[in-house]
Amino acid sequence: MRPNHRDDIPTAARRGDLAVGMAGTTHRGINLSILDEIVDYKRGEIAAAQQRTPWDTLQTQLADAPPIRDFHAALNTAAPMHVIAEVKKASPSAGLIREDFDAVAIAQVYEQHGAACISVLTDEHFFQGHLDYLRAVRQAVGIPVLRKDFILDRYQVLEARVAGADCILLIAECLDPDTLADLYHYANSLGMSCLVELYEPENLECVLSVKPKIVGVNNRDLRTFQTDLGHSLTLHQQVDAETIFVSESGIRCRDDVVRLEQAGVDAILVGETLMRSADIGAALGSLLGKNAQA
């Protein structure tokens, strides 16, 4: 198990090398070894975390977790569009996104400018995130918080709740159907919501089988890293209207938001567009149609 320091981030992840890992193993429909690399590394992280803080110890900490905020309800209001604004320092595809990174200050700006919920990247090795960012953000804002990570095990679900998460991300391409269902129901038993994400259309049936209240579609093709909002619009037609539908990735301007609004999409998850902006608050306001400038 290698240490999770910034210097240990793979070179490709640091520089945003889009060609990394294109060699071609298949993982739940994605022919891309970077996803396999992330999942394999994550399993090692989980094992190390369990050594540091055993399950029984983590369970005893649950009593001190902050009360749940209703993530689903925050996305289920009369507003024409809801924004899940993401606290994101880096990614394998983009490299370092924001150098002057202050997770709490960013989250507070998001809340002040109309975000419905906050997403916090907690993956350390590939995204330069940290669970401590989530803990700090949860204490600093009054809106629901999502743990965005590669969740593979119940341990991570419990860890998320102890840290103060109100919702977790479950990615269909990383999970077999039984594990997806198990993690979904376990999170619900702890009071948390789940944002169940997919990219590949072939995984929609698996996602819908757990009867999720929130479904997210990633518009980024993990083979090419290109984004297409049409991907969300196509799959949106196959999801029940009672389900909160979230479009993720590639949302860059007010016109993109209007296009999704007009199609009946309930929410968007936006990270890089906001994080790259010199004025994060103005950028969020622009997406929501509150001001003319991006």
User: Residue 176 falls within a domain, yes or no?
Assistant: yes
Is the dihedral angle over the CA atoms 46, 52, 55, 58 positive or is it negative? negative
| Amino acid symbol at 120 | V
Could you tell me the two tokens for 51?
Answer: 């050594």
Could you tell me the two tokens for 32?
Answer: 């891309």
pLDDT band of residue 32 (cuts 50, 70, 90) is low
User: Residue 274 falls within a domain, yes or no?
Assistant: yes
Could you tell me the two tokens for 115?
Answer: 């975000």
User: Residue 262 falls within a domain, yes or no?
Assistant: yes
Give the whole-number percent of the chain exceeding pLDDT 90: 81
Q: What average pLDDT does this structure show over 71-92?
A: 96
pLDDT band of residue 24 (cuts 50, 70, 90) is very low
User: Residue 62 falls within a domain, yes or no?
Assistant: yes
Domain harbouring 249, CATH code: 3.20.20.70
Q: What is the pLDDT of residue 81?
A: 98
| Number of domains the chain contains | 1
CB 174 within 8 A of CB 192: no
Q: Which residue has the tokens 């622009």?
A: 286
Q: What is the pLDDT of residue 105?
A: 98
User: Residue 125 falls within a domain, yes or no?
Assistant: yes
User: Residue 208 falls within a domain, yes or no?
Assistant: yes
User: Residue 32 falls within a domain, yes or no?
Assistant: no
Instruction: From 208, 192, 197, 207, select the one nearest 160 (Cα to Cα).
Output: 192
For residue 252, is pLDDT > 70? yes
pLDDT tens by residue, 151-178? 999 999 999 999 999 999 999 999 999 9
User: Residue 19 falls within a domain, yes or no?
Assistant: no
Q: What average pLDDT does this structure show over 2-11?
A: 33
Domain span holding position 82:
55-287
